Amino acid sequence: MTTTTASEIHSDLQAFLRKSPHKLLIGGQWLPAASGKTFEAYDPATGEAIARVAEAAAEDVDRAVKAARAALDGPWAKMSPAERERVLHRAADLIEKHAEELAQLESLNNGKTIREAKSGDLPLSVALFRYYGGWPTKIHGETVPVSVPYYPGAKFLHYTVREPVGVVGAIIPWNFPLLMAVERLAPALACGNAVVLKPAEQTPLSALRLGELLLEAGLPEGVVNVVPGFGETAGAALAAHPDVDKITFTGSTEVGRKIIQASAGNIKKVSLELGGKSPNIVFADADLEAAAKGMFMGIFYNQGQTCSAGSRVFVERSKFEELVHALAERAKTVRQGPGLDPRTQMGPLVSEEQKRRVLGYIEAGKKEGAKLLAGGESGAGKGYFVKPTVFSEVKDGMKIAQEEIFGPVVSVMPFDSVDEVVSRANGTPYGLVAGLWTKDIKKAHQLSQRIKAGVVWINCYQFVDAAAPWGGYKQSGYGREKGQYAVDLYTQLKSVWVDLN
């Protein structure tokens, strides 16, 4: 048990952690890995182990896929849409009931602050199960008025049916471990699919706890299988498995490419939510106080480990000095510590590897001539802390202005005209989100049309909802999760003809 926490560890969480070594969830059973191997789950605030977890590899993934297929063809298919709704609503209720425990687990294994886990990850997870809990009885086809030119006067009944895609492999990252799992499971289950979930190796624990809660909610065995393991082994085996119908992936663009390649074997459906290098654009006529908060939150939420991080801030020149210095001063006052300590404002990064990667970008920024205004080094202690870092004098072509850093590092740059900022904002291979701050409503809407991004926030930043579609342009991926759009992702359409002649 970690010693870094100032708050009490919930007794249910203590009981869960005592189950170490944690097993895989396959076909409703908790099983060790076929190899017998386990790996360590650790607290990134200290680097110390908190549990051991069975390490899935190809053989386990294969068992999980078979279990999912059996469930899909068996009890799950027989369950009515109304019954499916009740299971999803019970899942929402159970997550809500265990919110405190799950928030602590998330904070302990990921490093995020308990405040963010409680105000963001947990309520959103509940909301996703509630939102998709309403869908099963509302997913339906249509009748289509067909005319057949080579059969004049003929009458047909034509209708469409939405059917599940089948076995869905969900490969998710470590930045919002529970939320990412729920964001895939809720719509996939609402649409009647069975799922093999591979959580990230850094953060396997909340997915396993979620697996327990889903069984308690009455989900039939095998409908959700949880197989923690490493990307190159478990992840790759799932992505390439010939009996998986669809992969939903969130993570790096580099691995996204591998997922596409692996899908070619059996022509899997694929949806990808990849990296970002998102612009957050502040005009001089904005509510500057709100914009300053949006700049700060946009980059430093979740230690900067969000695909939607506003990592390139563009400020209209007349307000540049004022805002960049305000951001740097605020960054210097951030209290870093273990996520579980309620006084902590920023936790550690998720891993040693991520810390090294982020520090590497900071070095690159310095070397290329950017000016460091705050942070720029690791934080105190054994954990994977990096101080919130603000760079100015950044050129668009620099590594820190082009590549996703996925840490608390922001580049703040001045701009002079709308055309200039549009072209610079669009000047990376990514297109996930963008923020715009202005009181000029015409300018805001004109700009939102010219920005190549899947999500545009006007006078706000980092807002998400179960009903609002989420996904990227360009190399930030394809497909839209959340909302009714995920129903398209997790169903396939059948066209049925009936001869009435």
Q: Which of 106, 221, 307, 481 is catalytic?
A: 307
DSSP 388: -
- Catalytic residue flag (residue 307): yes
Tokens of 75: 């009890």
Handedness of CA 226, 228, 234, 239 (dihedral sign): positive
Q: Does 274 bind ligand NAI (CB under 6 A)?
A: yes
Q: Does 345 bind ligand NAI (CB under 6 A)?
A: no
Near ligand NAI in 50-79, by CB under 6 A: none
> Nearest to ligand NAI by Cβ — which residue?
231
Q: Does 232 bind ligand NAI (CB under 6 A)?
A: yes
The footprint of ligand NAI on this chain (CB under 6 A) covers a number of residues equal to: 25
Q: Does 250 bind ligand NAI (CB under 6 A)?
A: yes
The mark string for 179-198 relative to ligand NAI (x by CB under 6 A, - otherwise) is: -------------------x
Residue reference for tokens 């076929």: 34
Q: Does 406 bind ligand NAI (CB under 6 A)?
A: yes
Q: Count other Cβ atoms within 10 Å, centred on residue 205.
A: 26
Q: Does 258 bind ligand NAI (CB under 6 A)?
A: yes
Q: Does 303 bind ligand NAI (CB under 6 A)?
A: no
Q: Which stretch binds ligand NAI (CB under 6 A): 93-101, 144-152, 166-174, 279-287?
A: 166-174
> Which one of 236, 286, 315, 421 is in contact with ligand NAI (CB under 6 A)?
236
- Catalytic residue flag (residue 273): yes
Candidates 293, 303, 298, 299; CA nearest to 113 is 303
Closest approach of Cβ 338 to ligand NAI, in Å? 21
Residue reference for tokens 């179960």: 466
H/E stretch holding 374:
strand 371-374
SS3 per-residue string spanning 222-284: CCEEECCCCHHHHHHHHHHCCCCCEEEEECCHHHHHHHHHHHCCCCCEEEEECCCCCEEEECC
DSSP 20: P
Q: Does 255 bind ligand NAI (CB under 6 A)?
A: yes
Closest approach of Cβ 171 to ligand NAI, in Å? 5
Torsion of CA 117, 119, 120, 126, to 10 degrees: 100
> Which one of 4, 38, 113, 175 is in contact with ligand NAI (CB under 6 A)?
175
Q: Does 133 bind ligand NAI (CB under 6 A)?
A: no
Q: Does 275 bind ligand NAI (CB under 6 A)?
A: yes
SS3 434: strand
The mark string for 350-369 relative to ligand NAI (x by CB under 6 A, - otherwise) is: -------x------------
How far is residue 250's CA from residue 247's CA, in Å, rounded to a whole number?
Answer: 10
Return the exposure string of 380-398: e unless at least 16 CB atoms fall within 10 Å of the residue's CB, then b.
eeebbbbbbbbbbbbeeeb
Q: Count other Cβ atoms within 10 Å, centred on residue 113.
A: 28
How far is residue 204's CA from residue 207's CA, in Å, rounded to a whole number?
Answer: 6
Closest approach of Cβ 283 to ligand NAI, in Å? 28
> Which one of 108, 171, 328, 362 is in contact with ligand NAI (CB under 6 A)?
171
**First-last CA distance in the chain:** 73
Burial (CB count <10 Å: 0-12, 13-18, 19+), residue 234: buried
Q: Does 231 bind ligand NAI (CB under 6 A)?
A: yes
Closest approach of Cβ 286 to ligand NAI, in Å? 27
Q: Which stretch binds ligand NAI (CB under 6 A): 17-25, 124-132, 167-175, 292-300?
A: 167-175
Catalytic sites, residue numbers: 273, 307
Judged by the rule CB under 6 A, the positions of this chain that interact with ligand NAI are 171-173, 175, 198, 200-201, 230-232, 235-236, 239, 250-252, 255, 258, 273-275, 307, 357, 404, 406
